[in-house]
Structure 1
Amino acid sequence: MSRINANTKGVFVIAATPFTPDGKIDHNSLDGMVDFYFDKGADGLTILGMMGEAPKLTQSESLAIAKQIIKRAAGKPIVVGVSAPGLAAIGELTKAVMDEGAAGVMVAPPGNLKTNEQIITYYANVVKTIGEDVPVVLQDFPLATGVSISSATMGTIFENHPSIVMLKHEDWPGLQKISDLRDAEKKGRRRVSILCGNAGVFLPEEMRRGADGAMTGFAYPEMMVEICRLCNADQYDKAHDLFDAYLPLMRYEQQPALGLAVRKFILARRGVIAHASQRQPGADLSPTAQQEVIFLMTRLEKRMAEIS
């Protein structure tokens, strides 16, 4: 199993966790979901993140899911989200998934961190807990965590800990942060990989600022793969043309508290998972909302047929 590093590029899809309507893990859908993501061009997967409903899983369930996905991936890189309120849980799950062949782990800061010093100390403690040999993705998602990490603070963390090799960038607005990090690298700071979240809504701009790819769960991974390819070839007009076709669905997905329900509904409609169910608590789409998503999907299919 290959491990992520500071030069990792491409699309690492944030994977959903499929559930049956009664809230059990749908192990039958897991393998097909993994195959789908890689068939659509993903370079890797990130599992047990916020989209994966990780806080609703027990530690044993998280490990069972990780084992199954890592095995199915057959050597392709799998990053595992291990964020937890306490360092002991982070350390336990990290050791278990790395022993199974994970490519690295992703850690978001807990919401009680309020100062730059606290944030810096927290990541020092994470690295001390899991070991300096484990590749780490720093998840910067202040809209969800409530923790804002400045470019300068992030730079200090990267300088102090070479094992933190990747930033999952999903600050909003946050394009300047990408520029700040790349400018610092030009002046001598070590390189880190930057993969971007935010449901892909800024992906063309992020790539132009120096991002290495995407790490998000939009239910059409083939779009993200192609946009990254076009941007890497400096074909920005074509990248934006393709992006524009998907924008109505991406916009619809941005509704607070409904984004995951929309994504799972689309994945189910595409035959990727058997059910759109979330483990409770979780909001389902109303029949009206479902019809709106179907309408947008149908329009997208027509638009893509015209483009091709």
Structure 2
Amino acid sequence: MTIGQEHAAPLERGVWGVVPTPFAGSARDVDTGSLAGLVEHYEAVGAVGLTVLGVFGEAAALSIAEKSLVLETAAEASSLPIVAGVAALATRPAIDEATAAQQVLGRRLKAVMVQANSPDPDVLATHLEAIHRATGAAVVVQDYPAASGVAVPAATLADAVRRAPFVAAVKAEAPPTALAIARLTALLEVPVFGGLGGQGLLDELAAGAAGAMTGFSCPEALVATVRAFVEGGPAAARRTFAPFLPLVNLEQQPRLALALRKTLFRERGLIADAAVRPPSAPLPDELLPILREQLDGARSALTLLDTAVRIG
């Protein structure tokens, strides 16, 4: 469908959980049971929405049918709004991905998340507009050069976004993220979210971030930290997040981040299997004892957060 540019409702402030795609068995089939349980967990701990088929969701390793299955499962297991990731950088395949997500989710689709594909604001603005005109969907612009290979200065990104009233948020993942977020929030009215596993969360919130859109293995810690910042400022947020910083650091190990994070979800009982699909690398056995030790160090803080959630 072709429509004119429409103003999008901004994404709700808070934590948007980036959902992994669990696999099972030697064939690494999509494990819909684990996926449904994990989505329910995100909702139970206070996430305001879900981001499905992002980089953490291994969307590039999924077939078209599997992508639809993942979206359907997430929608059926939760009432949360959903942002659907679009992996393609070129406009026509990006439109195809956005259209497919829209066909599966219907009104449950809050927005499609599109990679910034050019440092030229004219090219980027044209790309975003074409996707919106073809689908009518609101857009979240993701600036993630580690995945896209495209570096976009904050001022350039803001220029393109200001031309696009259908943009509902920006996800800023170009280090140093706090600097990028400070510059973007000074230039834009739409909310700007941090990512990168929560690695820069405290500084991002201080710089004006609306929350986090990431897949850290303890999403309840992200939720509690954002709430603490809103209610008590930077010091309260720092106290809340401090017990989890070793895990954040562990998860961000180059080339193993996906396997580390999925293994932590498995160790927490939130998914049944930590399998990843090539080209992602599996977790080396040597790191498993270290991972378990780091998780044990965070369990008391997790217990306190779980108690607070149940009381609240």
Which runs of structure 2 are paired with 1:204-283 in the superposition (5 Å)?
204-283=202-281
Counterpart residue identity of residue 67, structure 1: E
Tell me if 1:35 matches 2:50.
Answer: no
Partner of 2:3: none
Amino acid at match of 1:252: L
Give a deviation string over 1:54-79, Cα, whole Å, max 9, x none: 000112211121112112213x1111
2:110 match: 103
TM-score (norm 2): 0.88
Aligned to 2:169: 166
> Please, which of 112, 120, 128 is the counterpart of residue 123 of structure 1?
128
1:13 counterpart residue number: 17
TM-score scaled by structure 1?
A: 0.89
Q: Which runs of 5+ in 1 are unaligned?
A: 186-190
Do the aligned residues in 2 keep the contact of 1:34 with 1:69 (CA within 8 Å)? Answer: yes
Q: Give the alignment of 1:128-207 within 5 angstroms.
A: 128-131=133-136, 134-185=137-188, 191-207=189-205
| Equivalent-residue separation in structure 1 for 2:11 and 2:126 (angstroms) | 25
Q: Which amino acid aligns with 2:14?
A: G
Deviation at 1:174, TM superposition (A): 2.6
Which deviates more from structure 2 when the two are superposed, residues 119-128 or residues 258-267? 119-128
CA offsets, 1:126-184, max 9 Å, x none? 333333xx111000111222211222212221221111110011111132222222323
Residues of 1 paired with 2:155 and 2:15: CA distance?
Answer: 26
In 1, Cα distance between the equivalents of 2:270 and 2:250?
20
SS in structure 2 at match of 1:5: coil
Would you say 1:59 and 2:64 are equivalent positions?
A: yes
Distance 1:241 1:27 in 2: 36
Summarize deviations over 1:51-108 as a string: whole Å, max 9, x none.
000000112211121112112213x111100222443332233233324221111011
- 1:142 counterpart letter in structure 2: P
| Residue of structure 2 equivalent to 1:84 | 88
Instruction: Give the counterpart letter for 1:79 in structure 2.
Output: V
Gaps of 5+ in 2: 1-6, 308-312
The match for 1:292 is 290
The answer on whether the counterparts of 1:20 and 1:275 sit within 8 Å (CA) in structure 2 is yes
User: What is the identity, as a one-letter code, of the residue corresponding to 1:158?
Assistant: V
For 2:53 and 2:302, locate their aligned partners in 1 and report how far apart those are by CA, in whole Å: 31
CA RMSD, 1 decimal: 2.2
Classify the secondary structure of the residue corresponding to 1:249. Answer: helix
**What's 1:48 paired with?**
53
